[in-house]
């Protein structure tokens, strides 16, 4: 079966981004970028399913400028077979991304569609569910375990207070939680080899989608800083400080 993995290029998770002086946007000029961590879990899962002989081909897709090929190269180096870049200068909201991915799914006809559960830049966590809705497919979000047999996926999902298990007929959309797996480390020779693998580029315009931009970012700001705290010398001092806060501790 074919698996399609959608990935997003985001600011590296170690970096604390800053706001531009005019408050118009986040300043990410020259900042280190990489594959969204949850999407890396999705890629890893597809590769493991291929190694188990369940998946036969993996296609990775991203949306963005030519620069975004780097995350596709990373996916190819991890073990993805083919990659597609849907090229656009615009940054798209989750609904638009889902519409683009829908048209790629319709071309590729994968049995399994994997995405990360959220992107660490906008923290929206919507694209997988929206894609499933547009495709009228079942969804299993926040997966921490995926088992596939007889065209069914059994998915353990992380929910508040515990886990839930779903049985999901394929094709389906599944979104990955961090605990799904540990993405493999990409070795340099694999990265070199990945340079030879094909990346197909499709112009967003050629997909003839009507994408509305209904959400506008008006401004961004740094959150209010917590007032500087104090260091206490021992447990007794800590306790006496806490006791000055009415009712916090007896």
Ligand X SMILES: Cc1cc2nc3c(=O)[nH]c(=O)nc-3n(C[C@H](O)[C@H](O)[C@H](O)COP(=O)(O)OP(=O)(O)OC[C@H]3O[C@@H](n4cnc5c(N)ncnc54)[C@H](O)[C@@H]3O)c2cc1C
- The binding site for ligand X (CB under 6 A) comprises 13, 37, 120, 178
Q: Taking CB under 8 A as the rule, does residue 122 contact another protein?
A: yes
Q: Which is nearer to another protein, 130 or 186 (CB)?
A: 130
* CA 223 – CA 14 distance, rounded (Å): 18
Please state the closest distance from residue 237 (CB atom) to ligand X, in A: 17
Q: Is 32 in the site for another protein (CB under 8 A)?
A: no
Rule CB under 8 A: say whether 179 interacts with another protein: yes
Q: Applying CB under 8 A, does 239 fall inside the site for another protein?
A: yes
Rounded-to-integer distance, Cα 146 and Cα 176, Å: 9
Q: Which of 1, 34, 103, 133 binds another protein (CB under 8 A)?
A: 133
CB of 26 to ligand X, least distance (A): 17
Using the minimum distance from each CB to another protein, give the nearer residue, 52 or 169.
169
For another protein, the closer CB: 188 or 249: 249
The secondary element (H helix, E strand) that includes residue 61 is: strand 57-64
Question: Smallest distance, Å, CB 92 to another protein?
Answer: 10
Render the burial of 217-250: b for 16+ CB within 10 Å, e for the rest.
eeeeeeeeeeeeeeeeeeeeeeeeeeeeeeeeee
> Is residue 121 classed exposed, middle or buried when 0-12, 13-18 and 19+ CB atoms within 10 A define those classes?
middle
- Report the candidate in 53, 104, 52 with the shortest Cα–Cα distance to residue 82: 104
Rule CB under 8 A: say whether 164 interacts with another protein.
yes
Residue closer to ligand X (CB basis): 33 or 178: 178
Return the range that interacts with another protein (CB under 8 A); candidates 50-58, 104-112, 138-146, 193-201: 138-146
Residue 78 sits at the vertex; the CA angle it makes with 37 and 10, to the nearest 5 degrees, is: 30
């Amino acid at each position: 079966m074919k698996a399609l993995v959608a990935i997003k290029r985001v600011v590296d998770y170690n970096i604390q981004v800053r706001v531009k002086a005019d408050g118009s946007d986040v300043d990410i000029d020259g900042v280190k970028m990489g594959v969204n961590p949850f999407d890396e879990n999705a890629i890893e899962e597809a590769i493991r399913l291929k190694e188990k002989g369940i998946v036969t081909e993996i296609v990775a897709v991203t949306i963005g400028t030519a620069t975004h090929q780097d995350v596709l190269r990373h996916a190819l180096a991890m073990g993805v077979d083919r990659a597609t870049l849907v090229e656009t200068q615009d940054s798209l909201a989750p609904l638009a991304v889902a519409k683009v991915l829908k048209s790629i799914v319709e071309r590729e006809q994968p049995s399994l569609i994997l995405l990360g559960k959220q992107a660490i830049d906008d923290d929206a966590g919507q694209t997988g569910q929206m894609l499933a809705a547009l495709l009228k497919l079942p969804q299993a979000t926040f997966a921490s375990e995926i088992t596939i047999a007889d065209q069914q996926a059994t998915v353990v999902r992380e929910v508040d207070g515990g886990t839930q298990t779903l049985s999901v007929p394929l094709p389906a959309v599944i979104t990955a939680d961090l605990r799904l797996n540990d993405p493999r480390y990409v070795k340099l020779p694999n990265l070199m080899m990945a340079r030879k693998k094909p990346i197909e580029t499709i112009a967003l315009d050629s997909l003839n989608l009507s994408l509305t931009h209904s959400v506008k970012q008006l401004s961004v700001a740094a959150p209010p800083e917590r007032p500087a705290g104090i260091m206490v010398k021992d447990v007794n001092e800590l306790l006496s400080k806490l006791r000055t806060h009415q009712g916090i501790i007896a």
